[in-house]
Amino acid sequence: MALDRKVGFLDGVRYKGGGPMLAWALHRISGLGMIIFISLHVVASFFTQQMGSDWAININIIYESPYFQLLIVFTVLFHGLNGMRIIILDLWPKMLRYQREMTWLQWLIFIPIYSLTIFIMLQRVLAGG
C-alpha cells in the first residue's frame, strides 16, 4: 500500500534533493537496468544452450558488445557502491549527518574505477579486439 503523494512527475523532477537524490534515482534506474539485462541474459543462455535458437544468440551478441558492456559496468559498479553506502548508513545511523559527504566520496571512488574501465575497453575496441 503506497503513500498517496499527490505529487506530479514534473514536481518530482524539480525537487531539489541534490546529490543524494540523484544517487537514489540512479540506484533505482540501475537496479531496473540490471534486472532486465540479467534476466534476458539468463533466458537467452537457456535457449542458446538447449535449442541454439537465433534470437537468443543475437541477444547475447548485443549483451557482449563493448558499448553495452560499458553500460553494464556502470550499473553494476554504481549500484554496488551506492548499496555499500546505504548499508553503512543503516548500520551507523549517526553517519547520516555526513550523507552528502559520503555521496561525494562515493563518486570519488566511482569515477577513477569507471574511467579505467572505459580506457581499457576502448583500447581493446580501437585495437580491433
Partner 1 sequence: MQTKKIPHPGWNLEYMMWMFTRLSGLAFFFLAITGMAAALVMGARNQMDLGTLMRWTFFPNPNHVLDSNIPNVDIWANGFWQIMQMLVIFFGGTHGLNGLRVVIEDYTSRPAWQIITRLVFFVLWVFMILAAVYVILAS
Query: Would you tell me which residues interact with partner 1 (CB under 8 A)?
Result: 1-4, 28, 31-32, 34-35, 38-39, 42-43, 45-46, 49-50, 69, 76, 80, 83-84, 86-87, 90, 120-121, 124
Q: How far is the CB of 106 from partner 1 (least distance, A)?
A: 14
For residue 85, give the C-alpha cell: 553506502
Q: How far is the CB of 98 from partner 1 (least distance, A)?
A: 20
For partner 1, the closer CB: 100 or 124: 124
For partner 1, the closer CB: 111 or 116: 116
CA distance 124 to 114: 15
